[in-house]
Structure 1
Amino acid sequence: MRLFPLLLLPALLITGSARADLRITRDHGGYVTEYKAKYERIRDRRERVIIDGICNSACTMVFGIVPMNKICVTPRASLGFHQAYYDKAFTFGIKVTSYEGTSDLMSYYPQPVKEWISRNGGLTTEMKKIRNGTDLWRIVDPCPEDF
Structure 2
Amino acid sequence: MAIIRIAVAAVGLVAAILPVRADIRILASPGGEVGPFLELFGRVRESGERVVIDGPCLSACTLVLMTVPTERICVTRRAVLGFHAARSIDRRGRIYAEPEASRAVEAAYPEPVRRWIMRRGGLTSRLLLLRGRELAAIYPRCR
- State the shift of 1:91 in Å: 5.2
The answer (yes or no) to whether the contact 1:24–1:55 under 8 Å persists in 2 is yes
Rg larger in 1 or in 2?
1
Give the drift of 1:34. 1.7
Cα distance in 2, alignment partners of residues 19 and 113 from structure 1:
25
In 2, distance between residues paired with 1:32 and 1:101? 11
Runs of 5+ unmatched residues, structure 1? 1-15
Q: Could you say which residue in structure 1 is the equivalent of 2:125?
A: 125
Structure 1 residue 65: deviation in Å?
A: 1.0
Question: How much does 1:29 deviate?
Answer: 0.9
Cross-structure match for 2:28: 26
What's the CA shift for 1:103?
2.0
Q: Secondary structure at the match of 1:96?
A: strand
Pair 1:57-2:56 in alignment: no
Structure 2: 5+ residue runs without aligned partners? 1-17
Residue 104 of structure 1 is matched in structure 2 by: 104
Q: Which amino acid aligns with 1:69?
A: E
Q: Which structure 2 residues correspond to residues 1-147 of structure 1 after superposition, within 5 A?
A: 17-86=19-88, 88=89, 90=90, 92-133=92-133, 135-144=134-143
> What percentage of aligned pairs have identical amino acids?
41
The code of the aligned residue for 1:74 comes to T
State the AA in 2 paired with 1:21. Answer: D
CA distance in 1, matches of 2:87, 2:49: 29
How many residue pairs are counted as aligned between the two chains?
Answer: 126
Letter in 1 for 2:114: K
Tell me the SS of whatever aligns to 2:40. Answer: helix
Query: 2:140 is matched by which residue type in structure 1?
Result: D
> What's the TM-score once normalised by structure 2's chain length?
0.81
Q: Is the 8 A contact 1:55 1:79 kept in 2?
A: yes
RMSD: 1.6
- Taking the aligned partners of 1:111 and 1:118, their CA distance within structure 2 comes to 10
1:101 partner amino acid: A
Distance in 2 separating the partners of 1:112 and 1:91:
36
1:63 CA displacement: 1.0
Q: CA deviation at 1:33?
A: 2.0
Instruction: Report the TM-score, using the length of structure 1 for normalisation.
Output: 0.79
